[in-house]
Each structure stands twice: as C-alpha cells, then as structure tokens.
Structure 1
Amino acid sequence: MSTPTPVIFIHGLWLHAASWAPWIDLFRDAGYEPAAPGWPGDADTVEETRANPDGIADHGIDDVVEHYASIIDRLDTKPILIGHSFGGMIAQKLLGQDRAAAAVAIDAAQIKGVLPVPLSALRATLPVFKNPGNLHRAVSLTAEQFRFAFGNAISEAESQELFERWTIPAPGKPLFEAAAANFNPHSPAKVDTANESRGPLLLIMGGKDHTVPEAVTRSTLKQYRHSSAVTEILEFPDRAHSLTIDSGWRDVADASLAWLKGQAL
C-alpha cells in the first residue's frame, strides 16, 4: 500500500488549530494523513491558550515559518499545506521554499508586493494597530470585532458561537510585519513568487471578506505572474473570513479536495 500524503493545516490569527477538526476528518476519510499543529506558543486547547496569552506574544512571521518547517522536516514526504489568513501566507512561503508538494491559501494575508489595503482590512486589524505596543503583545478580539472581521456574512448568532468556541489571542507582530513589508527589502512577508519548480498553488477568496478583501487576493495572484508553476484562484462570492469554520466550511473543503485531485495529488 502507498503511504498517505500528509496534509498540514495552518491556522491564522485569532483561531485555534482545533478549528480545523472537521477538515481533518474529511481529509482523513479522503485518504490523506492530516494534522493541524498550532503556532509556536499555542496550547493544546482553546481554554489553555486563552489563559496564557504571553506564550503566544511576540512571535513573528519567520518564527512561525521556522516552526512549521521543523515539522515538515520530520516527515518522509513533502506535505500538502492548507492555510487560512496568515496561515495562507505561511503556506505560500513554505511552498516557495520547495518544502511542500502543493498549497491551498484561503483568504491569505497579504504578501510583500501586494499594494491594496482596503478600508475594511484596516478596520478589521485596528484592534492591533491602535496601540504600537501591541507589536510585542498578544491581542484578543471582542465578539463585535470578530463579527466584523470574520462573521459578517453569517448570522449574528453563528458568529457569536464561533467566537466563543474557537477564538484565541493572537500575536500582533505578524500584522506589523505585513504592514511594513513594502518598505522593507528583507521583509519576512516576502514570498518567492518567481519559483518555477514549486508545487501548484490555489488561492481561495471570499467575496465578502472584510479582513482579506478580494482585491488583496487578486493582487497576490499577480505577484506570481513571472512563474510558470500552476497558480489558480477560486472565489466564493458570498463568503467572508469565517469560511473555513462556519456552517459552509464543507463547500470550501470539497473544492480544495477537488482541486488537489485535479492536480493528481
């Protein structure tokens, strides 16, 4: 029997890795070997992570990339990476480093070179940027802030339920690094978009996303124009930033599976 292809799920800011649980079950049933390791400093549960925000604080993009690279290095084969939000950026960086067989980046945070910064994205990240001291802190969202940043395309009741179930504090540092990326030639948000030999990449965007509006994802696609490697884009017009965890998650997961099958993965 052939060994199942490993799949690593990478969460973004404010969500715990356990939020990938339904995806893990689905991908395991589809014949993959899935796992969702948390970011450096994350505890095993939502409750434990909330209780120790200092453990999460001050981890930047490079810290997270190195953390997942060390996990990949322990595998026998290159994994498929599926990342959401900043996890989507991390997945792209690792794919550009030839550490992955393929990547699906869902509502991925902006990489270096992406210029549009829509007003809704500024508002969604204001809880971090309103205080420069948050560069070295972990910041939590309120239910109202989560509703704007994640849950604007679902009911208020569902947004509240997701907020209570999955949210954790997030380090402010990656947001500050991404915001300054186009002014820093050595920015950790820089991705090797010109890599010709990397595996295929699917960018997924939600048309109603406030945190990573579709203009950001379309601009991200343009950054790959100098590479002949497979780079495709898929839009869910009526979905927002909660698309990986809300009641419509299965549509996104099934589309990811279908795309991977189409890439013979």
Structure 2
Amino acid sequence: MKMTHSKIIVFITGAFVSSDGWNDWKEYFEQQGYRTIAPAWPYKDAPACTLRQRHPDAEVASLRLTDLIAYFIGIVEALPEKPILIGHSMGGLITQLLVQKGLATAGIAIHSLQPQGIFTFKFSFYKAGWAALGFFTDAKKTFLMSFAQWQYAFTNSMSYEEQKDAYYKLLIPESKLVVRDATTSAAKIDFTRPHAPLLFLSGSNDHFIPASLNYTNYKKYTHTGSITDYKEFVGRNHFVLGQPGWQENANFILKWLNEL
C-alpha cells in the first residue's frame, strides 16, 4: 500500500553555514507542490556577512545541541501537520533525532553527522573537523573556519572561484560546544525503535562526513518493519547542497518520497 506523507518540508541546516544554502532547494520543492521552510538557527537569522562581523559571537557560542533539538521541535509542533524533514550534516543528525521522537512523516539525512557511539578511522574526518571542536581554546568564543579549512572540509574538488563564492555567501561562525555535543547522550539514537521512513544520502568525495560513516549510521538501524534506505553519490563533497549538480540529489529525494 502506498504511504501518504506531508506536503510540508522543513529543511534543517547544518553547522558552519547559513540557512540560505537551502534557497535553491526550497524553490525546487515548491515547484513540486510542497510548502517549505528553512529556519535559521537561533542567533543566526541574518546574512552570512553580518554574522561573520559579529565573530566572536557569545550568543552563538552558547548554543548546545539540546537547544537546537528543542528549537526545531517547537517549529515542527507548530505546523498544521507532521512534516517531511530534510537535514544536512548536523541538520541530518537533528533530523534523525526528531524522526526518533515521531515528529515527521519521513526524514532525509544528507551527509548526516554521526550520532553518539558511531566512529570512523578516516583521517579526512579528523582533519576536517578537529579545529571546530576547539579543544584547548575558549568555548565562549565562536569558531570561524578559514578559507583553507573550508576548501578541505566543504568544497574540495570544486573550482577556486566556486569555493570562494560559496565561502563568502554562506560561511558563518559556529559554537564549539554544539559540535562537541554530537559525542554526548544528546545525540543518542535508539536504532531498534520503529520509525518513519528514513533516507541517508552520502558522497564519495566528502572529507568532513565520509560516505563510510554515513553507511555505518544507516546500517545501525535494525527495526525490520521500518523503511531505511541509503544512497551514495559519486563525486559529491560536503557542500552537496550547493555543489554543481545538486539537482541530482534533489531529484532522487523527490522520487524516493513519491514511491513511499
């Protein structure tokens, strides 16, 4: 029997980037008949250039994962129906956590940050993310990725001009604490529970969240009565939302939703 699902999509942004990164995705899905929202994180409802000027930003630095979960729960529960959740990176992890709470009709985790207890030995993962954890630095100050760090962690394999354009349009300061919280019980998933349909997307060129880490995340789900799917895209890096060819990912999500 074909499943029914919502016509509302909530896009959940990841760390380090502005929610404006969803603008093209919003337009794409709105053209398919969906109502979409892409809420900025708390203290981040401003253009990327403005947020960078506020660095170091004590309010952003104070953000914790539990704050974000509560914030998005409030947004979802205020909607007239349970939405579809589509999250990227940290937003993918939040998507998993909200799906676990029964707050969505379907979830799509794009290059999702790993829940508590899932690890990888890939060197690129530690090189891309170690600085953002900010150990031995002041946690009351935000972390702002350098252009060189951005090139490695997000936009590897893209042209210099594409990397620079994306950096200045979307990069914002981030809380070191919210990144660290992914290793705590705030990011705990019960993989044995029934859940709404959940799709994991990964990219073969992602340094920050390697495809193998996404696959491990996906394989942890063991409830046989629930739909859990996985797709790896060749050539996709962590800037998948804005990387040339992003439409292929969006098309796949749309097809997956239509087939539920």
Q: Structure 1 length normalisation: TM-score?
A: 0.91
Shift of 1:130: 4.8
Residue 124 of structure 2: which of 120, 125, 128 is its match? Answer: 120
Counterpart amino acid of residue 58 in structure 1? S
The partner residue of 2:231 within 229, 234, 237 is 234
> Aligned to 1:61, which of 65, 69, 81?
65
Superposed CA deviations along residues 61-110 of structure 1, whole A, max 9, x for unmatched, are: 11111100000111110010000000000000000100111111000001
1:191 aligns with 189
8 A contact 1:93–1:192 mirrored in 2:
no
Residue pair 1:135, 1:176 contacting (<8 A) in 2 also: no
- Matches for 1:31-180 after TM superposition, within 5 Å: 31-52=33-54, 53-178=57-182, 180=183
| Match of residue 242, structure 2, among 238, 241, 245 | 245
Superposed CA deviations along residues 223-251 of structure 1, whole A, max 9, x for unmatched, are: 10245311000111211101111222111
- Alignment pair present for 1:16 and 2:18: yes
Select between 85-94 and 167-176 the one with higher mean Cα deviation: 167-176
Secondary structure of residue in 1 paired with 2:137: helix
| Change in 2 beyond 3 A, CA 1:4/1:29 | farther
Question: Matched residues in 2 for 1:114 and 1:7: separation?
Answer: 27
CA drift of 1:136 comes to 3.8
CA distance in 1, matches of 2:82, 2:187: 22
Instruction: Return the offset for 1:154.
Output: 1.4
Structure-2 separation of matches of 1:13 and 1:132? 20
After superposition, the Cα gap between the structure-2 partners of 1:124 and 1:134, relative to the gap in structure 1 and judged at 3 Å, is farther
Instruction: Give me the identity figure in percent.
Output: 28
Unaligned runs of at least 5 residues, structure 1 = 182-186
CA offsets per residue over residues 122-164 of structure 1, 9 Å max, x none? 1111222353335443211111110000011212221111111
Q: Where in structure 2 are the equivalents of 1:208-223 lying within 5 Å?
A: 208-223=205-220
Please give the root-mean-square deviation of Cα atoms over the aligned residues, in Å. Answer: 1.7
1:235 corresponds to which letter in structure 2?
A: E
Alignment-derived partner of residue 251 in structure 2? 254
Partners of 1:160 and 1:136 lie apart in 2 by 28
The amino acid across from 2:31 in the alignment is D
Moved more, 254-263 or 40-49: 40-49
Q: Counterpart in 2 of 1:204?
A: 201
Shift, 1:50, TM fit: 2.1
Do the aligned residues in 2 keep the contact of 1:134 with 1:173 (CA within 8 Å)?
no
Counterpart-to-counterpart distance in 1, 2:161 and 2:28: 25
Q: Decide whether aligned partners of structure 1 residues 236 and 156 sit closer, same or farther in structure 2, where only a CA change above 3 A counts.
A: same
